[in-house]
A and B are shown apart, each in its own frame.
Chain A
């Protein structure tokens, strides 16, 4: 179902897609692709191609940790983001747009201010830790900040709208009559959900995953502000050391490696989901 959206273009309009693409693509090529060549050149300095495997080796632990954190945050975002998107789309009624705005609203408060608020809530002497100590969920000398949990928690929080909104837009267009038809055909609500709703909202889940997992992998600020040096992510290493010129070749190589790894992951994910692609 998700695959057959192409209607063949009429012969006399073969150029239309290219016209539509042109402005955006030109901008991307001129201001994104071209500058990247300079970075590619930089990545080959003082070491050449061997920079790539070297930097992978040196940072393997951090790379694995980065994908772990981003992956956990993404899964968490799907688990709590899908129900929220579903609720807004199916039960929101005339308040749909208001609820949607509410989801994004926290992000109009600058990141630094939001994160400071989390710090105030989560620091060792703060309310959250006290409660968790009393409930014996946390051992007495263990805090929340500077832990893996804090970083994943912050990543989840800061990327949640990027999961909710794409799922919402793909759910909202769901034709209810499809569900009625399913019921008419003796499908139980769960089956109808699985076979109709879920499948039709897969593009939304796919989009949300892209917009959550990928930026989370390159993120540095959550780890830096709420984590400790034990939660270093790739983004932190790149950002912290880029000021030193002799580091730049390998950091550039590291960036391209990150890009390649993510692309491979996305391709696999797309195949598994059954959506036909990135394209």
Chain B
């Protein structure tokens, strides 16, 4: 009998997140995929999950899951795990995914593996691959002495697949513990982003500490515009306050997988590499020939970003006849 694999489905920007669908694809490949969907969600969400491999959905639309962060979800999911004991439960390596797993592992007194890039089931035990971050080590891990294995999966680890299944929906009662109300979300602020979305962009032009200041991101924007791409940044540039967090690529930011990734004035810290190293082609420009980014680059230029990039922009315009 196929093992049951649960996916914690997340809503972001009023739709199901891509990572949720990526995890469903993997879950259907390994066993029988089922999803947990908590909190308000657009009407077509159940259908979208079914179209991507979910055979059963545990559902509660109560706003408690949206307004009180992750504790209510932890209560509900812990109850469902104890009742149904799926072999594996997958969570996205997102804000709520990580919070939820932290609470569940403490609540259920079980381990969890984070940063998972792939996994397989062998005789009921799980073998998870944690891809290396930059120059560090890659490892495979398992979880001992526990029922449901909790795995936190990196975005973009799998391809979403359309795989329509007949779906059963089971309504579950909302979390009831009043203690959850000790923490409440009172306001949701969206910081406007300019230009194309980073996540889906075919070309990403990113800047780091070597850009030296906020004003120099205009140059990257111009390069991105010429190529029809989006602008990203390393944590150093975000921490310096030059660009908003929504542009951060890396372990604590976004994970991107474009066709072309430009790393401009980025040294290639582990933190950053983990968010972009699966890009198809990596082109880097850095004045330090020893910068780790060059080890991951398909094409590297040891030079001054303030000379190389303007020349590249000019050259691209000339070749395009602009």
- Asked whether A and B interact, the reply is no
